[in-house]
Chains A and B, each alone.
Chain A
Amino acid sequence: MENNIIPSESSNSRFVPDIFDDLEADRARLVEHFRAPKWLAPGYGLIAAAYVSIPAFPDEPTGDFVLIAAVIVGFLLVGNAYRATGIKISRFGAREWAAFAAAVLGSLVLHSVSLGLASLGLRWWIAASASAAFVLVLWLTRLIFSSLRERLRNDR
């Protein structure tokens, strides 16, 4: 039976360290539960690969469609990841923002490379830059998630 009566300050002090130990143990259990769904990082990798491969499709409607679909799928992945883990963490720290910026910049640079390859008529080589984007964003997404896990473990 739970005791909701507030103990006196002196008796309280006897179990305060136990209270903090309980909170730490709960946090550790929550971190164990916070695992990235297997499809999350590959999903973002595919989005980046799709964006980088846009120059392979010279007609504008295809490029626009890929871009809009990539943005929508990106949001759906976040929503589904929240549902799969049952945990919502939206606050990014410096490390997560840096990784996110690297993913965006890397994708932009590789998109430019694809544009260059397309202008030179080397359309099949765009598959290489798209693969590079996939690997880069896959790795950075995993980095962001593990960084969020570490922050959840150590946040005070």
Chain B
Amino acid sequence: MTADGIFNEVIHAPLRLRICGLLRSVDELDFAVLRDTLGVSDATLSKHLKALVTSGLVTSTKMASASRADSRRITWLRLTAAGRSAFDDHIRALRKISAGFDILDITDSRS
């Protein structure tokens, strides 16, 4: 973790950033809740989750669900410690970029 943050290529993709943002605020999220909150299809979410899981930023755990008659399971998603750290660093990096832009705006308005 650094004060200036570290830009993360994997996280920066818009949907992956939103996934990490939601997972950062809770311990775990159900796949269906994440999908509904983001308003994307199962396939789209699965594709981006695969990238995050492959990078070691997110873990998924499948659990049997007694409330479902079919064999579908609940998939719990969680940010790993590395994922939390990478997301926080990425947000710090974005804030730094944003702050730099604000300074440029002020300088432009003065000149």
Contact = CB atoms under 8 A, between A and B. Distances in A.
B22 A26 contact: yes
A10 B9 CA distance: 16
A26 B13 contact: no
A86 B26 CA distance: 11
Contact of A2 (B14, B25, B30): B14
Contacts of A29: 37
Given A2-B14, A12-B97, A83-B65, A26 B37 contact: yes
Chain A interface mostly helix, strand, loop or mixed? helix
Contacts of A6: 7, 9, 12
B1 to A, nearest CB: 16
Report the contact-size class of chain B (Cβ under 8 Å from the partner). Answer: 20 to 34
A19 B17 contact: yes
Contact of A87 (B29, B67, B104): B29
B39 to A, nearest CB: 8
Interface residues of A, number: 31
B59 to A, nearest CB: 13
A155 interface: yes
Interface of A: 2-4, 6, 9-10, 12-14, 16-17, 19-20, 22-23, 26-27, 29-30, 33, 82-83, 85-91, 152, 155
8 contacts: A2-B15, A16-B95, A16-B97, A23-B18, A26-B21, A30-B37, A33-B33, A87-B28
